[in-house]
Structures are given as C-alpha cells and as structure tokens.
C-alpha cells in the first residue's frame, strides 16, 4: 500500500504539504535529516515553512509511514515501506552518516528478555556508534 493511501485510510487529509513532504522523503534514498528535506522541498517550493516540514514529519512518524532515527545532534528520517524488512542503524560519529544493517535476531533477543517482565514489545531500535569505512580510510 502506498503511504498516502494509508494516510487516507486513517482518516487523515492528504494536504499538498503532506504530499510534498512524503514525496521528498521517498526521493531521499536511505536517510535524510529534516534540514535536507527542507532544502529539497525549498528548491521546488520556495517559501515553504520549515515548521510545516517538521510537523508533517512527526505526523508521518506517528502514522508509521516514516521512521525517526534519533541521533542527538540531528534526527534522520526514512520512509517506511510496507512489507520492507526491519533493520537497525549504524551511525558514524565523524560524518553523521547512517547505515542500515539487517539483524533479524535483535528483536527476538529483546523480545525474549522482555517476556519475563510481561512487557509487550512493539519494536526495537538499535543504534550502533562508530566510524564508517570512508572516514576510517581518510585518516
Ligand atoms: Zn563517517
Ligand atoms: Zn534505515
């Protein structure tokens, strides 16, 4: 299902702003900061309010159409595609690059650790910190 259809099914209006922010998210392969999204939207539509971008991104995250990767200094966003495999993230502490890693065992481990607590686990967000290959070879 297309993300915008999901919006409509949840009774949310597809405003031109929401359509534009979601499209910008899809145009960025991998992860994008809110600033990068603001910039690419601004190139198409000068004068677009940055606060609208931030607000719309939060809405898309709430609806499960986007995922926010909290990095401390700048959050990254990525579109969540229906049926796509869940993945975890590695972040380079030097350049801020964010990388996807598939580790299907991780949610299982956390889920079995959560079970004795009676905790109903919905998702696991793991963030690995380090130095990426490009930064490491730039030394
Ligand atoms: Zn790096
Ligand atoms: Zn990712």
Q: Where are the domains of the chain?
A: 3-79, 88-137
Q: In this predicted model, what pLDDT tens digit does every residue of 125-137 receive, in sequence order? A: 889 999 999 999 9
Q: What is the pLDDT of residue 82?
A: 63
Q: Which ligand is nearest to the CA of 136?
A: 1
User: What is the rounded distance in angstroms from the CA atom of residue 4 to the CA atom of residue 2?
Assistant: 6
Q: Which of 58, 139, 135, 68 is nearest to 97 (CA)?
A: 135
Q: Name which of 116, 135, 109 is nearest 126 in CA terms.
A: 109
| pLDDT one-digit tens code per residue, 98-127 | 899 998 889 899 999 999 999 998 888 889
| Token pair for 13 | 């209006």
| Listed residues: CB within 5 A of ion ligand 1 | 92, 94-95, 97, 132, 135
Name the class of domain 3-79.
Answer: mainly alpha
- Whole-model pTM: value is 0.76
Joined together, the tokens standing for residue 132 give 């990426």
Question: Which residues neighbour ligand 2 (ion) by CB within 5 Å?
Answer: 78, 100
CA 103 distance to own-chain centroid: 17
Q: Does 4 or 68 have the greater pLDDT score?
A: 68
pLDDT value at 29 more than 60 = yes
CATH 3.30.1490.190 for domain 88-137, yes or no, is yes
Residue 74: the pLDDT is 79
Residues of the chain with pLDDT > 70, as a percent, come to 95
């Amino acid at each position: 299902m297309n993300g915008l259809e999901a919006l409509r099914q949840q009774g949310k209006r597809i405003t031109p702003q929401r359509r534009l922010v979601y499209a910008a998210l899809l145009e960025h392969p991998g992860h994008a900061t809110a600033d990068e999204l603001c910039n690419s939207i601004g190139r198409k539509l000068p004068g677009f309010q940055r606060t609208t971008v931030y607000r719309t991104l939060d809405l898309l995250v709430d609806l499960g159409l986007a995922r926010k990767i909290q990095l401390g200094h700048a959050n990254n966003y990525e579109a969540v595609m229906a049926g796509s495999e869940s993945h975890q993230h590695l972040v380079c502490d030097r350049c801020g690059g964010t990388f996807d890693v598939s580790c299907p065992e991780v949610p299982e481990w956390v889920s079995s650790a959560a079970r004795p607590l009676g905790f109903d686990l919905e998702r696991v967000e793991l963030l690995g910190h380090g130095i990426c290959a490009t930064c490491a070879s730039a030394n």
